[in-house]
Every structure is written in structure tokens, then in C-alpha cells.
Amino acid sequence: MPTSPTSPLRQHTVVIVGGGAGGTAVAARLRRARPQLDIAVIDAATDHYYQPAWTLVGGGQYTAAATRRALRDCLPQGVAHIPARVQELAPDQRQVVLEDGTRVGYQFLVLAAGIQLDWDAIEGLSETLGKNGVTSNYRYDLAPYTWECVRRFGGGTALFTQPGTPLKCPGAPQKALYLAADHFRRRGISADLQFCTAGGAVFGVPFYAQALDRVMASYDAQVRLGHNLVAVNGAARLATFETVVDGKKQRTDIHFDMLHVVPPQSAPAFIRASALADANGWLEVDKHSLRHVRYADVFGLGDCTSTPNSKTAAAIKSQAPVLTENLLRAIDGQRDSAHYDGYAACPLTTSIGKVMLAEFSYGGVVAPSFAADPRVPRRFYWWLKKSFMPFLYWHIILKGRNWPVLHRTREYPAGVPSVQP
């Protein structure tokens, strides 16, 4: 008998869409808790990347190859891997539709699909990426070119951009500037450094933004707020920004010798087009339980969700245990019990050898793991960023192992301390 168009060709108890940090961590935690649980991960990728280190690659402090491993080696044994792309979500039928039309049925769905990088939203960008001094640490193949541009920079104007959309690792755009600026200073290279952001501040949490303003000033970097990159002419070395003056949009061209671009970003198209999306296209989950607000059999974590936290790998570290506990309780017919507080962290590499470790929870509440004032860049945090955090990622988070909760709300003096990047 032929299969009905709405009948799944395969069925699993838990289907996870996305084999990145969130999907792999949840699969591993579920596997540890219930070794016989039927789990499948859908992801067309063959490789898994430790993306937080790409900033270090662009600063000449890490090798790109060290950030990549085979996805199959990262997924836990006993978890099925479906190497395909998702075309559509059909939550009313409890099915995921793949690009070839295959339908995968589930009892519970976990969406950890990451974020979509919209390179083509900037006119001319795709044609010039990787040449003409135009680069981005947001791609594995381009991060080494960032370092090449920095090494070969002989002076002139270096632009670093940030879009107005939500983005993964919101501190990464300025981290690229700091590492480049430190390299230029050490070698006595004169540079007109400009940080062009579509936002109204260099960082979303004022407590840290005030300190980061001082870091920018220490490098004599000009901060251009409200500047949204809309076009790039690589051959002419021109970047076009859109600004709003007296309520009217206008365009400004800035010449560059080096341009580091962070593209606009959005939820994956198959989420935006589904009944699971909110008005802005993000997976609409309860910000504490990580369960969908309308579909009780759907959970989500990471960059694709509507949770109002910073989109960082550190958020996954806190989200994965919460989601896993609530999902297991749902399988057992019990109510949610675990609670995500919005924790995220951004290790801001203010120079080669020092990091400002920004940690915070929902509402921009300062929640460091250490008692020392987190606005002060420290060498110890550089070691955490470069050596310990990759270990934590590969061997603790992705393996589904427990890690103690160290962060908590702390109070610090209102005045910004002396900042030496």
C-alpha cells in the first residue's frame, strides 16, 4: 500500500533538529538519563564547529582546524543521525518534513536549529567576501582571512560592523576590532579604527557598555552608532551605511582598507514559516521552561528561540540541563520543574592576553561566576577563553555531563573602574 502524504516514513520518540551545541548537548544528556530512549538528530552538516574560537582565529591566536570535528564523532552513540535539511515543520501532525519530502514523526520535538546568516541582505557583500580586504569571523573559511588582513594591514582605515538584528555572540564584532587594534599598536601601525553599529550602544548591558566605551577610547577607535551596513563595493573599497537623521534615512559611503562584516541574522526560514514562530519569526518558547507556548510537545534552545537572552554558547550550557529535565518530565507525564534564568556570557577579548568576562541574566542583571569586578580585563580570563572553555565545550557540554552553576547576582560600585585592555 502506498504511503499517505501525511504518514511519516520513520518515527522516533524524540527528534532534535540541529546538531550544533544545543542539539548535541541535549542528545547527550537525554542519552545519559535514558540510555534506551529513541532519539534522532536531523542535521545535514558533516562537521561540528567550536565557533566561539573563530574570533581568536581571526586574531591569529588559534588555528581554524582546531575548531572543527566530525559531527558523527560529537553525537552520542545510540543516537540516530539523519543527514538532511528540514523543509517544513508540521506540528499539528507531529512531523518534520525533509527537503526530499521524507516525513519524520515524533512524540517530542526539540528545535536547536541555530541562526541564519543573511549575507545577501547586504548588497555586493557575497561577491567580495574573502578578497579586497573584506572578511568576517562568522565563517570558518573566512576567519583565517581576517588574520591575513590584519597581518598585511599597513595603515589606513579599518572598519568593523555590527547589524541591528539579533545575532549570535553580540560581542564578537568588537572583539575583532580589539584584537586587530592590539596587533597594530604592538607593531606601531597607524590605523583609523571605526566601529559602525546599527545599535545605540557598543553592548546591550549598560554595566559592561560603559567599560567597553573606555576600551574603544584606549584604542582611539571611533564609535559610529546608528550606522547600518547596507552595501559593499569591494573593488572600490567603499562601504555604504544607512543612518537616520531627523527621521529620514540617508546613505553614507566610507572608504576602507580593511572591512570586517557581521551580517544581519534571523531565525531559520523553516521556523519563520511555521506555526511555531512568534511575530518576529523566532521559535516561541516560554523563557523559563523552554517549552513552546502553544505546542506542549515542542521544546527549543539556543539561537533560534524567542528567549530574550544573549545568543551565546554559554547560554546553551545553562539551557541544556533545564530543557532536558523538563522534557524528561514531559515524557513521564509530569509538569515542568527546571527554570532557566536567562544566563549568558561573553568573554570579550580586549587585547591579546586579556579578556573582560561579561556574564548576565535576564534583564541585564549582572551575574558573574567570580567575585572580582567583571568590568576589569584579566589575564586569567584569557586562559579561560583560549584553553579552558574549549575543553569545557568538547568534553563537558557536548558530552552531556553536569557542571556546577557558578554564576549569581552580585553588586559592584556604580563608577567604572580603571580599564587597561
Residue 325, C-alpha cell as written in the block: 529535565
Distance CA 31, CA 34 (A): 5
How far apart, in whole angstroms, are the C-alpha atoms of residue 69 and residue 25?
15
CA distance 304 to 283: 6
Separation between Cα atoms, residue 109 and residue 95, nearest integer Å = 9
Q: Which of 3, 226, 188 is nearest to 95 (CA)?
A: 3
Active site residue: 74, 149, 196, 346, which one? 346
Active site annotation includes 304: no
**Measured distance CA(324)–CA(77) in Å, rounded:** 18
**Residue 28: CB atoms within 10 Å:** 23
Tell me if residue 346 is catalytic. Answer: yes
- Catalytic residue among 149, 169, 196, 304, which? 169
Q: Active-site residue numbers?
A: 169, 346
